[in-house]
Amino acid sequence: MLQLEFGLDTFGDVTTANGVLQSQAQVIRDVIEEAALADELGIDFIGVGEHHRADFAVSAPEVVLAAIAGQTRRIRLGSAVTVLSSDDPVRVFQRFSTLDAASSGRAEVIVGRGSFIESFPLFGYRLDQYETLFEEKLELFVALLRNKEVTWSGSVRAPLDHQRVFPPVEERADRRELTTWVGVGGSPESVVRAVNYDLPMLLAIIGGEPARFKSYVDLYHRAYAESGRKPRRIGVHSPGYVADSDAQAREEMWPDYKIMRDRIGAERGWPPMQSGEFSREIERGSLYVGSPETVARKIAATMRTLGATRFQLKYSAGPLAHSRLLHSIELYGRKVIPLVRDMLG
């Protein structure tokens, strides 16, 4: 039987309470409470995204995850994603190896280029080096994962010469290195890169039919077959919201999801979202919105189609209230996950 895992992702979206936007500090405290509930419910993973803008509260996921580690016992703790291009691979490794030690081996890293670019000017990186930054830094990060001493040189940071980095990741019977996924948003090059570094792949599917990513899954398996190695795991990250009924879920999510979607869309030249597009994404696309039964059927179908063994629901949605997020998490843990496990048998 396949080992299936189910997680939750959040960017620390700035929420409202009684119609008033919460402070970013309060949102961070709420994220910690949401993760603690997920742990109580037996959910496998909590992912906290990195952003550097007013509408998302979390810019330092590892710090939030460390606070979560202190209030939980078993849930795995990861980024969703770490923007490796505008960070230093040595510091990323050190922060996550420290989190791993503090949480008794529960840390994971999901590295990616990110779909927002605010971190580049903030930390002094040029956008015309977008590809080079990620490629070289991922190469160094993987070297840090798999070697006690690292010798490396590139064009985007100082070289290392037989350098040891501390703290090392504690050796455990159930793993050979710090669990690291490559986030893939829609490029075949990213799929091949994950295979080249022998890392599991997390597909970020945030719009359109999930089945359109089947070609990337096929490429992942084909590239592994050509390398003569056994494929690593495939996961899926997609947005959604669970309520007691389909109608309630749509009614509660729509206004806040539209606020978030239109704000980002205005920055990227997209037209405002209409209710028909929202409905189509729920019915045939990548929004997992509805009753526990509806959401479970859709998750099971996606995992079956793509051969995924992990699903991460991005449960926060713009200013959608913390109280509603808690109820959605409870339904996801108590009802959706058991239903999906039964469906996939």
Asked if 185 and 116 count as a contact pair (C-beta separation under 8 A), the reply is: no
Q: Give me the phi and psi of 337, to 5 degrees please.
A: -60, -45
307: left (phi over 0), alpha (psi -120 to 50) or beta: left
Report the interhelical angle of 61-69 vs 89-102 (nearest 10°). Answer: 10
For the residues 203-225, what does the mean pLDDT come to? 97
Q: Is 288 exposed, middle or buried (0-12, 13-18, 19+ CB in 10 A)?
A: buried
**Residue-wise DSSP of 143-194:** HHHH-SSEEE--SSS--EEEE--SSPPPPBTTBSS-EEEEEESS-HHHHHHH
Give me the residue label for tokens 């419910």.
Answer: 41
Q: Is the four-CA dihedral 323, 325, 327, 329 of positive or negative sign?
A: negative
Q: Tell me how far apart the alpha carbons of residues 185 and 32 are, in angstroms, rounded to a whole number.
A: 27
- The 8-class DSSP code of residue 85 comes to G
Q: Tell me how far apart the alpha carbons of residues 238 and 256 are, in angstroms, rounded to a whole number.
A: 17
Chain center to CA of 200: 13
Q: Tell me how far apart the alpha carbons of residues 104 and 184 are, in angstroms, rounded to a whole number.
A: 28
Q: Tell me how far apart the alpha carbons of residues 288 and 290 are, in angstroms, rounded to a whole number.
A: 7
- The 8-class DSSP code of residue 314 comes to E
What SS3 state is found at 78?
Answer: strand
Q: Tell me how far apart the alpha carbons of residues 24 and 32 are, in angstroms, rounded to a whole number.
A: 13
Which residue in 315, 297, 185 sits closest to 239, CA to CA?
Answer: 315
Examine the pLDDT at 332 and tell me if it is beyond 70. Answer: yes
Give the pLDDT score at 1: 53
Give the pLDDT score at 114: 81
Give the pLDDT score at 158: 97
In what helix (H) or strand (E) does residue 201 lie, and over which residues does it extend? strand 201-204
Give the pLDDT score at 115: 84
Q: Tell me how far apart the alpha carbons of residues 112 and 116 are, in angstroms, rounded to a whole number.
A: 11
Q: Tell me how far apart the alpha carbons of residues 187 and 130 are, in angstroms, rounded to a whole number.
A: 14
Examine the pLDDT at 61 and tell me if it is beyond 90. Answer: yes
Q: Tell me how far apart the alpha carbons of residues 93 and 177 are, in angstroms, rounded to a whole number.
A: 11
Q: What is the pTM of this model?
A: 0.97
| pLDDT 10s digits, 95-126 | 999 999 999 999 999 999 888 999 999 999 99
* Residue 173 pLDDT grade (very low, low, confident, very high; cuts 50, 70, 90): confident
Examine the pLDDT at 264 and tell me if it is beyond 60. Answer: yes
Q: Tell me how far apart the alpha carbons of residues 328 and 323 are, in angstroms, rounded to a whole number.
A: 9
Give the pLDDT score at 215: 97
* Residue 274 pLDDT grade (very low, low, confident, very high; cuts 50, 70, 90): very high
Above pLDDT 70, what percent of the chain?
A: 99
Above pLDDT 90, what percent of the chain?
A: 96
Q: Tell me how far apart the alpha carbons of residues 244 and 198 are, in angstroms, rounded to a whole number.
A: 41
Mean pLDDT of the chain: 97
Which residue in 343, 149, 311 sits closest to 233, CA to CA?
Answer: 311
| pLDDT 10s digits, 302-324 | 999 999 999 999 999 999 999 99
For the residues 230-237, what does the mean pLDDT come to? 97
185: left (phi over 0), alpha (psi -120 to 50) or beta: alpha
What SS3 state is found at 97?
Answer: helix
| pLDDT 10s digits, 25-44 | 999 999 999 999 999 999 99
N-to-C CA span, the chain:
8
For the residues 263-275, what does the mean pLDDT come to? 96
